Each structure stands twice: as C-alpha cells, then as structure tokens.
C-alpha cells in the first residue's frame, strides 16, 4: 500500500483489506499509517528494494551506490551486522566508490548509524493503535466506536438508552450512508462484480433499497408492524423509521421502545444481507422476527429501570407498552 491505495480487483484478498481500510478511515481512524515495521538484527528484509528506513527505498535514495552493488537483492542481514560495539558493514561493490558515489556512501552510513534496530532477531510489525504495539480487532472496534460516539453535536446522531451502544453506532452509520452497500462502495471506486441487491436482485443496492424497498426487507417490516398492531408498512423514509415517528405512542418511554424495535429490525435486515453475501446463507424472515422478539426483550428488560415487561404481553400485544 505504498504511496496510497491501489485500485483493487474484486477477486483479490487485497481488495477486501483495502475496502476494510477505506471504511475504517472514514471513521477518522488512521488505519493505513498505524503499522510500522520493526527491523530485527537478523532481518531478511531487502536492503535496497524495500522501505525500511526513511521514506523511500535505498535504491531510490542512493542510485549510484545501487548500481555498484553486486547483489542487488541482498538482505539487511547481508549488509549490516549488529553487535554490542555497534554496526559493522559488509559491502560488495563492483568497484570502490569514488567521487559522488563515495559521498553517497558517507550519507548512507550516516543514515544507518542513526537507525534503531529492535532487540529481536527477526522482523515484526508494531501497531500504534495499541499501547502494547499488538494489533487486535477488539481495540480497533473500540477506537471506531469512540470516534462515532464523539459525534454528539451531529444533528443526525440519535440517542436511545434502551438500545446497546453497538446499535446506536449502527444507526449512526446507516443515517450517514456509511454502511458498505454496493452502490456506496462503487462511488468510492471499488470494483465489484455486481451492484445489484444480493437479496432480491430487483434493484441497485442503495441504502434505501436495502432497508426499505427490497421485498425481503418489506416482508420483515410488515411482520414487525403486524406484531405491534400498527397496520401496514408504507415505504417510509429511513429518517421516519429510525426516529421512531411511525406509531401513535403517547409517552417518551413508548417512543423509545418503538424506536428501539425499528433499530433492531434494521440491524437484522443488514445481518440477513451479510449472511448471504459473506456466508452464502439465505435468511429466513419468520426466524428473524422471532430472533428480534427474543433479543430485544432481553435488552429492554435489562435497560428499562423501574419498568416490568411480561413475555406473553410482549409477544401478543407489545403496543401495550407504547402508552404505559
């Protein structure tokens, strides 16, 4: 990834890595520049052809010396030996450096003398995102969540203390069009084999199509609205759905309850989509509705202080909680 992101192909592993890096950096996490190579004293890194000291390869920084090198694929351990007394150089020139070439050699040695080798024998990578230098998905997730949660002044940020933090972050990304729907990826120059909806193949995979107009999403919304005795789902906008303004709740608590249910429904639509795209696993809408009922009942019973929820009422007449 030297010099910026290359244009990926949809079939390559690097395509997935680059796509992930793009999405991560959209959350203001400097992912690409967060890894640094630690050079060990027995390093097998290419001395001339890889970037390991400075901002470019040594063949570019010292072209005259490189032309004199007999073994242009030599490794760092072939050219430098590290001991308690300092660095020892083992050059292999086609002729002795003179004039400007000798001046380059002096500059090269000056650069190398200021380089700090790691204490280990072999090379390793250090992640600056973690204090211990070890990369972990858990630490990266926390950084992304912190960046997203810091957007308190954003007019599109919604808060609901009945919903877990990960659900708030998901809704924030959805409102900001920061979920990797295929059209959003295409706008960012990512080559994909198709930009059509993977669930229904009846339209382009925009955020609105995925969560509103896709027949599978509409089927789940219809079942959720029917469960809450709210009539038919009428192709509402994302803002209307996610702000909880689609029911006749008469209390602020009732609005939070219904808004949270809508958030969970949207979350499960995305989960069904991802299971198909990444696991080739087709979703089952009745099963998804059952999972929503169970999962959200667990959340709300733990997060609604002073409120008691009955499982049987929750299944048969949950709209009872909109006004009570």
Q: What is the pLDDT of residues 259-269, one digit of tens each?
A: 888 999 999 99
| 97 and 190, same domain (yes or no) | no
Same domain? 121 vs 200: no
Render pLDDT for 213-238 as a digit per residue (tens, 0 to 9). 899 999 999 999 899 888 888 767 78
| Lowest pLDDT segment from 33-37, 40-44, 208-212 | 33-37
* Rounded Cα gap, residues 134 and 58, in angstroms: 28
3-class secondary structure per residue, the chain: CCCCCCCCCCCCHHHHHHHHHHHHHCCCCCCCCCEEEECCCCCCCECCCCCCCCCCCHHHHCHHHHHHECCCCCEHHHHEEEECCEEEECCCECCCCCHHHHHHHHHHHHHHHCCCCCCCCCCEEEECCCCCCCCCHHHHHHHHHHHHHCCCCCCCCCCCCCCCHHHHHHHHHHHCCCCCCHHHHHHCCCCCCCCECCCCCCCECCHHHHHHHCHHHHHHHHHHHHHCCCCCCCCCCHHHHHCCCCCCCCCHHHHHHHHHHHHHHHHHHHHHHHHHHHHCCCCCHHHHHHHHHHHHHHHHHHHCCCCCCCHHHHHHCHHHHHCC
Mean pLDDT of 131-157: 58
24 pLDDT tier (thresholds 50, 70, 90): low
Question: Does residue 203 sit in the same domain as residue 318?
Answer: yes
What is the average per-residue pLDDT within 47-53?
91
Q: Answer yes or no: do 122 and 165 share one domain.
A: no
State mean pLDDT over 160-172.
85
| pLDDT of res. 11 | 43
pLDDT higher than 60, residue 14: no
* Across 36-60, average pLDDT: 87
pLDDT band of residue 176 (cuts 50, 70, 90) is confident
Mean pLDDT for the stretch of residues 1-5 = 40
- Domain end among 95, 127, 159: 127
For residue 71, what pLDDT is reported?
Answer: 95
Do 185 and 240 lie in a common domain? yes
283 near 275, Cβ under 8 Å?
yes
Query: Based on the domain organization, do 165 and 281 belong to the same domain?
Result: yes
Q: Flag whether 192 is in a domain.
A: yes
Task: Please indicate, yes or no, if residue 181 is contained in any of the structural domains.
Answer: yes
**Are both 120 and 209 inside the same structural domain?**
no
Structure confidence at residue 155 (pLDDT): 43
Number of domains in the chain: 2
Q: pLDDT band at residue 17, thresholds of 50, 70 and 90? A: low
Question: 96, 110 in Cβ contact below 8 A?
Answer: no
Instruction: Calculate the CA dihedral of residues 290, 296, 299, 304 and round it to 10 degrees.
Output: -130
The answer to whether residue 153 scores a pLDDT higher than 60 is no
User: Would the pLDDT of 286 be above 50?
Assistant: yes
What is the model's pLDDT at position 6?
A: 39
pLDDT of residue 3: 38
Domain containing residue 93? 35-127
Residue-wise pLDDT for 36-45, tens only, equals: 778 888 888 9
Of 111, 127, 143, the last residue of a domain is 127
d(CA 307, CA 24): 38
Asked if pLDDT for residue 204 goes beyond 70, the answer is: yes
Mean pLDDT score, 151-155:
44
pLDDT value of position 177: 84
Statement: residue 313 has pLDDT above 70: yes
Of 39-48, 94-103, 165-174, 315-324, where does mean pLDDT reach its minimum? 315-324
Mean pLDDT of the chain: 81
Question: Do residues 112 and 208 share a domain?
Answer: no
Q: How confident is the model at residue 15 (pLDDT cuts 50, 70, 90)?
A: low
Which is nearest to 318 in space by CA: 294, 286, 287? 294
What is the C-alpha to C-alpha distance for residues 160 and 182, in angstroms, rounded to an integer? 29
Residues 106 and 176 in one domain: no
145: pLDDT strictly greater than 80? no
């Amino acid at each position: 990834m030297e010099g910026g992101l290359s244009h990926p192909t949809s079939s390559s592993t690097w395509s997935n890595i680059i796509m992930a890096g793009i999405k991560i950096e959209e959350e203001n996490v400097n992912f690409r520049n967060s890894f640094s190579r630690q050079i060990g004293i027995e390093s097998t890194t290419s001395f001339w052809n890889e970037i390991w000291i400075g901002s470019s390869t040594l063949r570019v920084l010292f072209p005259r010396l490189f032309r004199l090198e007999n073994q242009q694929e030599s490794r760092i351990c072939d050219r430098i030996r590290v001991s308690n007394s300092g660095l020892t150089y083992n050059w292999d020139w086609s002729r002795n450096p003179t004039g400007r070439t000798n001046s380059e050699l002096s500059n090269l040695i000056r650069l190398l003398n200021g380089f700090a080798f790691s204490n280990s024998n072999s090379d390793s990578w250090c992640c600056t995102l973690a204090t211990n230098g070890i990369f972990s998905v858990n630490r990266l997730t926390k950084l992304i969540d912190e960046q997203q949660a810091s957007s308190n002044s954003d007019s599109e940020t919604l808060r609901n203390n009945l919903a877990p933090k990960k659900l708030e972050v998901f809704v924030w990304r959805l409102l900001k069009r920061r979920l990797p729907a295929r059209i959003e990826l295409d706008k960012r120059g990512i080559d994909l084999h198709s930009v059509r909806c993977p669930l229904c193949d009846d339209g382009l995979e925009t955020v609105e199509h995925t969560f509103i107009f896709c027949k599978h999403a509409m089927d789940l919304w219809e079942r959720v609205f029917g469960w809450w005795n709210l009539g038919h789902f009428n192709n509402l906008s994302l803002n209307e759905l996610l702000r909880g303004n689609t029911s006749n709740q008469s209390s602020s608590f009732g609005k939070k309850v219904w808004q949270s249910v809508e958030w969970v429904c949207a979350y499960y639509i995305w989960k069904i989509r991802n299971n198909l795209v990444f696991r080739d696993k087709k979703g089952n809408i009745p099963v998804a509705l059952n999972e929503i009922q169970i999962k959200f009942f667990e959340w709300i019973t733990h997060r609604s202080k002073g409120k008691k929820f009955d499982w049987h009422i929750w299944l048969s007449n949950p709209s009872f909680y909109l006004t009570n």
